[in-house]
Amino acid sequence: MKRVVITGAGAVTPIGIGKEEYWKALEEGKSGVGLITLFDTSNHIVKIGAEIKNFNPEDWLDKKEVRRTDRILHLSTAATDLAVKDAGLELESLDKNKFGVYIGSGVGGIGTINDSFTTLFEKGPNRVSPFMVPMMIANMPAAYAAIRYGAKGPNMAVVTACASSINNIGEAYYCIVRGDADIMIAGGAEAAITSVATAGFTSLKALSTRNDDPESASRPFDLGRDGFVMGEGAGILILEDLEHAKKRGAHIYAEITGYGNTCDAFHITAPDPNGEGAYRSMLIAMEKAGWVPEEVDLINAHGTSTPLNDKMETAAIKMLLGEYGRKVMVQSTKSMIGHLLGAAGAVETIAALLAIEKGIVHPTINQFVQDPECDLNTVPNKAIRAEVNKVLINNFGFGGHNGVLAIERFKD
C-alpha cells in the first residue's frame, strides 16, 4: 500500500499567520479571543470571537480578486500559498493530472450570504452582485486553489460541519493510497464570524456569553465552561506519496497512517452522549494505523468547551483506551483559537505535526476547575516537553459526523 506523508503546512489563525507564528503562540498559551470587530454586535447577546488580526487579503490577491471573492477564499488562499511554499513544490515539474485539491468548509461564504440579503431587502434584487453565487458556494476554495496552481487531479469540498477539514484530509489521503494522485492540497477554511451565524449559534445556546472576560471564555473540560467561541481561519496541508516526496528531497513532517469516519446517527446537533460514534472513529483510525492503546502519545481533542461535547469525548477516550485514557496527554487547541468550525481539524493537525517535530505539547489553557466528568490529562495551562510519536486528531460535527486522523513520526 502507498504510504502518505505530510510535506507542507500553512496556517492562518487567530493567534498567528504562518506555522512559526502560530506555533509560538500555542507554546506560550496565548488566547486569540476578543471582542468582535468584524460586525456591529450592539444588539447581539454574544460579542466575542476569535478573529484573525493584521490580515490583509491584498497581500495574497489583487484588489479586483478581493472584491469578487468572500473572506473564506482570502483565508484559504493565504494558507494554501503558505503550504505550497513550505513544501517547496516546483509546480512546473509536477504531473498536474496527479495533483489534486480537497478543501472543505462547514458553512462556505456565509459573509456573502449575510451581505447579499441585506442588499436584497434594502436596495432590491437588481443590486445583488453577479458574483454572489461563486462567492458563497463552499467548493470555491478548492476550485480556486486548483485554478491558481493548475491542479487537474481529484478535486472536492467535503462538507461535514465541524468535521469537514479532517474528512477532507482523510479523503485526500485515500486519493493517494488508491493511486489517483501523487500530491494533494488538503484542509479547510472558515470565515463565519458574521452577524447571522453568530445569531444562529447564539439561539442554539452553543456559544459562550462570557463577554466580560473573552480570553478565558473558551475553557474545554473546565467545570465553568458555557459554550464554544467562534473562530475563523484556514489550515492547509500538502499530502504526498512517500516515493514522490523522497525523489524530490522533501522535508517530511509526519506520516498519515490511519483515518476513521463514522456517524452517531443520533441527533442533528447533539452528540451521542455515550460517545459510541466518536469511539468507533478513533478505534478505526487506530486499528488502520496498527497501534495499541498505550502507543498513543497525544490526542488533539475536539474539545469545544461545550458541556455536552466535552463529556462525550471524555467518555469516548476512556472507552477507547481504558485506564490509560486518564493518563494520555489530551490537548484542546480550541482553548486558544476558538472553534474554527470546518477549518478546525486542519489547523489542529498542524499543531499535532509541530508537537511531533518539536517535542513540545501545547497546553489546554483556561483550566481553572476541572470537570470531574472530564477527568483527563489535559496538559493544563502550560506547555510541557515530551517525546511525541503518535497522535490522534479528533473532530466531530453537527449531524453526528465523526472524523479522526492518526499521524505518526516518519520512519523510513
pLDDT tens-digit map of 164-193: 999 999 999 999 999 999 999 999 999 999
Pick the catalytic residue from 302, 362, 374, 401.
Answer: 302
- Which pLDDT score is estimated for 54? 93
Whole-angstrom distance, CA of residue 374 vs CA of residue 217: 18
- Which pLDDT score is estimated for 412? 87
Same domain, 222 and 264: no
Same domain, 308 and 358: yes
Active-site residue flag, 339: yes
Whole-angstrom distance, CA of residue 338 vs CA of residue 100: 29
- Which pLDDT score is estimated for 394? 98
Whole-angstrom distance, CA of residue 326 vs CA of residue 296: 12
- Is 253 inside a domain boundary? no
H or E element that contains 221 = none
Whole-angstrom distance, CA of residue 325 vs CA of residue 316: 9
Same domain, 293 and 240: no
Same domain, 128 and 269: no
Pick the catalytic residue from 74, 339, 362, 401.
Answer: 339
Q: List pLDDT tens digits, range 119-135.
A: 999 999 999 999 999 99
Q: Which residues of 92-120 are buried (b: 16+ CB within 10 A; e: fewer)?
A: eebeeebbbbbbbbbbbbbbbbbbbeeee
Neighbours of 410 (CB within 10 A): 16
- Give the residue numbers spanning the domain of 42: 4-247
Q: List pLDDT tens digits, range 187-236.
A: 999 999 999 999 999 999 999 999 999 999 999 999 999 999 999 999 99
Residue 287 has pLDDT above 90, yes or no: yes
- Is 189 inside a domain boundary? yes
Q: In angstroms, how far is the first alpha carbon of the chain from the final one?
A: 15
Same domain, 208 and 114: yes
H or E element that contains 304 = none
- Is 397 inside a domain boundary? yes
Same domain, 158 and 65: yes
Same domain, 85 and 181: yes
Last residue of a domain, one of 247, 269, 301: 247
Q: List pLDDT tens digits, range 309-340.
A: 999 999 999 999 999 999 999 999 999 999 99
Res. 302 pLDDT band, cuts 50 70 90? very high
Whole-angstrom distance, CA of residue 106 vs CA of residue 190: 7
Same domain, 272 and 399: yes
Same domain, 58 and 124: yes
Average pLDDT, the chain: 97
Same domain, 237 and 382: no
**What is the grid cell recorded at 47?**
460579542
Residue 264 has pLDDT above 90, yes or no: yes
Percent of the chain at pLDDT exceeding 90? 100
Query: Are 254 and 404 within 8 A, CB to CB?
Result: no
- Is 252 inside a domain boundary? no
Query: Are 375 and 285 within 8 A, CB to CB?
Result: no
- Is 363 inside a domain boundary? yes
Query: Are 22 and 233 within 8 A, CB to CB?
Result: no
Last residue of a domain, one of 213, 247, 281: 247
Angle among Cα 266, 394, 374 to the nearest 5 degrees reads 80
- Which pLDDT score is estimated for 261? 98
- Is 163 inside a domain boundary? yes
Same domain, 307 and 330: yes
Last residue of a domain, one of 193, 226, 247: 247
Neighbours of 265 (CB within 10 A): 10
Same domain, 233 and 262: no
- Which pLDDT score is estimated for 231? 98
Which residue's entry shows cell 475536539? 302
- 274 burial via Cβ count (<10 Å: 0-12, 13-18, 19+): middle
Res. 296 pLDDT band, cuts 50 70 90? very high
Say what the alpha-carbon torsion angle 82, 84, 86, 92 is, to the nearest 10 degrees.
Answer: -140
The number of folded domains in the chain is 2
- Which pLDDT score is estimated for 1? 86
Q: List pLDDT tens digits, range 39-77.
A: 999 999 999 999 999 999 999 999 999 999 999 999 999
Q: What CATH number corresponds to the domain at position 78?
A: 3.40.47.10
- Is 123 inside a domain boundary? yes
Pick the catalytic residue from 74, 162, 362, 401.
Answer: 162
Percent of the chain at pLDDT exceeding 70? 100
Q: List pLDDT tens digits, range 7-37.
A: 999 999 999 999 999 999 999 999 999 999 9
